[in-house]
Structure 1
Amino acid sequence: MADTWLPSLVTDSPEEGFALAVKISRNSVKVTQPDAETRQKLRPDYADDADSLIAVSQVIAINFQTVAAANGYWRG
């Protein structure tokens, strides 16, 4: 990616860290499937699928673990 969308994993709070984890996860999907129209077309396939939603939650949780570790778990 040419532009810098992730200058740092450091955040001021766990809430900001979680938001960053979500952003990382969303951008990963965009890199994997760069065509927005295709992503929109595929959304109904997983939007009501419990297993898919759990899998998405797991990806976000893994990214949040990474951000939390980079922030020393927000403990000075």
Structure 2
Amino acid sequence: MELIPGGSLQTATAQQGRELAMKMARLVIKATQPDAEVRDRLRAAYADDAATLLQVAHIVAVEFATIAAANDHWRHTEDQ
């Protein structure tokens, strides 16, 4: 399983970086629990749990921070 789609963290825009972060977070879940039926069954357990959804947001934020660092996004002043 390719955990970094395309093999690179480089993105042209911050928006693309955020989308990559979300995809990478999903791939981590898939790698951790490869059984699609189990993932589908577990989805109902966290779909209505605010704390769990916040944890998901945190995972995406960590992935995005990694991508932003790889792209030096914080050093650019132009809107992307």
1:12 aligns with 2:45: no
Question: What is the percent sequence identity of the aligned residues?
Answer: 45
- Higher-RCO chain (CA-CA 8 Å, sequence separation at least 6): 1
| 2:3 and 2:24 in contact (8 A); partners too | no
> For residues 17 and 29 of structure 1, what CA distance do their matches in structure 2 show?
19
Residue 5 of structure 1 and its aligned partner are, at CA, apart by: 3.0
The runs of at least 4 consecutive aligned structure 1 residues that moved more than 2 Å come to: 1-6
Deviation by residue 1:14-70 (Cα, 9 ceiling, x = unmatched): 000000000100000000000001100110100000000000000000000000000
Q: What residue ranges of structure 2 are gaps of 5+ in the alignment?
A: none
**TM value normalised by structure 1:** 0.91
**Aligned counterparts, 1:1-76, within 5 A:** 1=1, 5-73=5-73, 75=76
Q: What residue ranges of structure 1 are gaps of 5+ in the alignment?
A: none
Counterpart AA for 1:72: D
> For residues 62 and 23 of structure 1, what CA distance do their matches in structure 2 show?
13
> For residues 26 and 2 of structure 1, what CA distance do their matches in structure 2 show?
12
Give aligned pairs, total.
Answer: 76
Counterpart AA for 1:70: A
